[in-house]
């Protein structure tokens, strides 16, 4: 869909000029702008207040050197990032990605999306994101610890429980958060909820580990229900085999679906009997091995090299949970051809704009990442509340709050889409509802 509104076209031109060489960021801004056309026409006051020009420019971007010593005694140098994007409705909040593909454009796209996602959760959290081009794959525990300590030795001066609260993302799980938290505490001499996704013995929240994957299924369930469908008896394909993919598999299975495929960055497994999740958890969470090892103990399962082929497996529901732009036009067309009727995103921006066009023009139910995967950050918000109150809630309490939040996110997306004449377009609904709350706050706070 091409932009028609002159004002948005001109702001986007400036964004493209200022951020040349950052295609993922420009993609994320373009998608939001396309949804905001009817809002801009109806709300000239927000245009007058310069909300959109301010929204696309991060409040602060921090780039720093991360030196660390490997197991051979050799000095390695990585680059660290924290983009504090928008604090209109609360402290900056968003994960830390550790992956060799990380550069400022990836962090900015993620931080920009995070603003709207956090707004949708109903909790008071602004948008931020960070990370490094460090590759945790193949590193020893000692190397991971030394990297995390060095990373936090710079980051600690920019964050705090009322200022900026980072969390996990690709490559940053409980182990990395633990090492970073330990270093923050040592440097600041204070025990506060400065990071979320912490271990349960030092301020972590029950159900945080499960939250993004579970939340994705709760959102999807609401979307299916609103359209007279359910997970019961459906075949599901899930990409990735990390935190989000594993817990999405667990919940989808509990809701009556059969998950038949998972992947990692080398290839994918197809198990027609349904994925044996205990085996995957042992391989990925405990032994940190590749997904292809699964077939060694499951003779009916097949492993295929390369990630893209996973979308050629016939399914009713697809849940991309690996990384950005993993479903392109061709893969989306294959999904449609094979009878898939719903795509709901666990990963951030996993569908290219052309793929989204295919979903919408073929009437697929489409759950966009900002809404569908917001359960992780929502539960991080609940972790922050528990830390501030010096309390810990039970798994059932947190899970019940998560379900309530995901229901309310779906309702906001559905209602905003209807209000702006775009019924059933939950992507537009998510962008509009997420935007309006932040925009009102920015307008009320004046030109800052």
Could you give the residue numbers annotated as active site?
Answer: 129
Nearer to ligand NDP, 11 or 384 (CB): 384
Does 196 sit near ligand NDP (CB under 6 A)?
no
Q: CA-to-CA distance for 420 and 430, rounded, in angstroms?
A: 12
Does 265 sit near ligand NDP (CB under 6 A)?
yes
Q: CA-to-CA distance for 202 and 344, rounded, in angstroms?
A: 33
DSSP 8-state class, residue 207: T
Instruction: Decide: 420 and 38 in contact? Cβ < 8 Å.
Output: yes
Does 222 sit near ligand NDP (CB under 6 A)?
no
Does 40 sit near ligand NDP (CB under 6 A)?
no
Residue 213 CB, nearest distance to ligand NDP (Å)? 8
Residue 238 CB, nearest distance to ligand NDP (Å)? 10
How many H-runs (helices) and E-runs (strands) does the chain carry? 17, 12
Pick out residues in 270-289 that bind ligand NDP (CB under 6 A): none
Secondary structure element (H or E) that encloses residue 378, with its range: helix 375-389
Does 259 sit near ligand NDP (CB under 6 A)?
no
Nearer to ligand NDP, 244 or 335 (CB): 244
Instruction: Decide: 304 and 328 in contact? Cβ < 8 Å.
Output: no
Nearer to ligand NDP, 84 or 118 (CB): 118
Q: CA-to-CA distance for 49 and 440, rounded, in angstroms?
A: 10
Does 376 sit near ligand NDP (CB under 6 A)?
yes
Q: CA-to-CA distance for 47 and 223, rounded, in angstroms?
A: 32
Residue 214 CB, nearest distance to ligand NDP (Å)? 11
Q: Output phi, psi for 202, to 5 deg.
A: -135, 50
* Candidate list 19, 86, 183, 212; residue touching ligand NDP; CB under 6 A: 212
- Judged by CB under 6 A, the stretch of 33-41, 346-354, 385-393, 433-441 that binds ligand NDP is 346-354
Q: CA-to-CA distance for 81 and 429, rounded, in angstroms?
A: 31
- Spell out, one character per residue from 80 to 109, where the chain touches ligand NDP: x when CB under 6 A holds, - when not: ------------------------------
If binding means CB under 6 A, how many residues of this protein chain bind ligand NDP?
Answer: 23
Does 127 sit near ligand NDP (CB under 6 A)?
no
* Candidate list 94, 128, 130, 346; residue touching ligand NDP; CB under 6 A: 346
Residue nearest to ligand NDP (CB): 242
Residue (of 161, 167, 171, 1) closest to 90 by Cα position: 161
Helices (DSSP H) in 56-189: which residue ranges? 104-120, 141-155, 174-188
Nearer to ligand NDP, 91 or 242 (CB): 242
Does 123 sit near ligand NDP (CB under 6 A)?
no
Residue 261 CB, nearest distance to ligand NDP (Å)? 12
Secondary structure element (H or E) that encloses residue 402, with its range: helix 395-419
DSSP 8-state class, residue 363: T
Residue 50 CB, nearest distance to ligand NDP (Å)? 30
Pick out residues in 228-257 that bind ligand NDP (CB under 6 A): 240-245
User: Tokens standing for 363?
Assistant: 């009437």
Supply the DSSP string of 297-325, one letter for each residue.
Answer: H-TT-EEEESSGGGGGS--SEEE--S-TT
Nearer to ligand NDP, 257 or 280 (CB): 280
Nearer to ligand NDP, 38 or 173 (CB): 173
Residue 296 CB, nearest distance to ligand NDP (Å)? 17
Instruction: Decide: 271 and 261 in contact? Cβ < 8 Å.
Output: yes
Nearer to ligand NDP, 220 or 348 (CB): 348
Helices (DSSP H) in 189-327: which residue ranges? 208-226, 243-254, 277-281, 294-297
User: Where along the sequence are the contacts to ligand NDP (CB under 6 A)?
Assistant: 168-171, 212, 240-245, 264-266, 307, 321-323, 346-348, 373, 376
């Amino acid at each position: 869909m091409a932009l028609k509104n002159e004002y948005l076209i001109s702001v986007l031109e400036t964004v493209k000029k200022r951020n040349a060489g950052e295609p993922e960021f420009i993609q994320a801004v373009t998608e939001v702008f396309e949804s905001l056309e009817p809002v801009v026409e109806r709300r000239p006051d927000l245009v007058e207040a310069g909300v959109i020009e301010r929204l696309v420019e991060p409040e602060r971007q921090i780039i720093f050197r991360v030196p660390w010593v490997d197991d051979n005694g050799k000095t390695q140098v990585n680059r660290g990032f924290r983009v504090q994007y928008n604090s209109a409705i609360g402290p900056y909040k968003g994960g830390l990605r550790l992956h060799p593909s990380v550069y400022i454009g990836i962090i900015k796209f993620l931080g920009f999306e995070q603003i709207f996602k956090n707004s949708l959760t109903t909790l008071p959290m602004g948008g931020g994101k960070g990370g490094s081009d460090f590759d945790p794959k193949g590193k020893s525990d000692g190397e991971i610890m030394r990297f995390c300590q060095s990373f936090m030795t710079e980051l600690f001066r920019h964050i705090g429980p009322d200022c900026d609260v980072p969390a996990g993302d690709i490559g940053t799980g409980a182990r990395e958060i633990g090492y970073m938290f330990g270093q923050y505490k040592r440097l600041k001499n204070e025990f506060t909820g400065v990071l979320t996704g912490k271990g349960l013995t030092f301020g972590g929240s029950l159900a945080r580990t499960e939250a993004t994957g579970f939340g994705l299924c709760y959102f999807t369930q609401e979307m299916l229900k609103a359209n007279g469908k359910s997970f019961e008896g459906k075949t599901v394909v899930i990409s990735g085999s990390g935190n989000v993919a594993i817990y999405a598999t667990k919940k989808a299975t509990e809701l009556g679906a059969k998950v038949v495929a998972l992947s990692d960055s080398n290839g994918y497994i197809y198990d027609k009997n349904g994925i044996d999740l205990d085996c995957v958890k042992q391989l990925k969470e405990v032994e940190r091995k590749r997904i292809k090892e699964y077939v060694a103990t499951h003779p009916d399962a097949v492993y295929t090299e390369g990630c893209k082929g996973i979308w050629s497996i016939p399914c009713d529901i697809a849940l991309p949970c690996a990384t950005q732009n993993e479903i392109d036009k061709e893969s989306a067309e294959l999904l449609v051809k094979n009878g898939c009727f719903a795509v709901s995103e666990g990963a951030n921006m996993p569908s290219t704009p052309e793929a989204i066009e295919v979903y919408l023009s073929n009437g697929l139910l489409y759950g966009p990442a900002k809404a569908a995967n917001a359960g992780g950050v929502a539960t991080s918000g609940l972790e922050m509340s528990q830390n501030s109150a010096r309390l810990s809630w039970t798994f059932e309490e947190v899970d019940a709050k998560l379900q309530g939040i995901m229901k309310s996110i779906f309702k906001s997306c559905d209602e905003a889409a209807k209000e702006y004449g775009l019924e059933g377009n939950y992507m537009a609904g998510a962008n509009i509802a997420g935007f309006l709350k932040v925009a009102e706050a920015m307008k009320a706070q004046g030109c800052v």
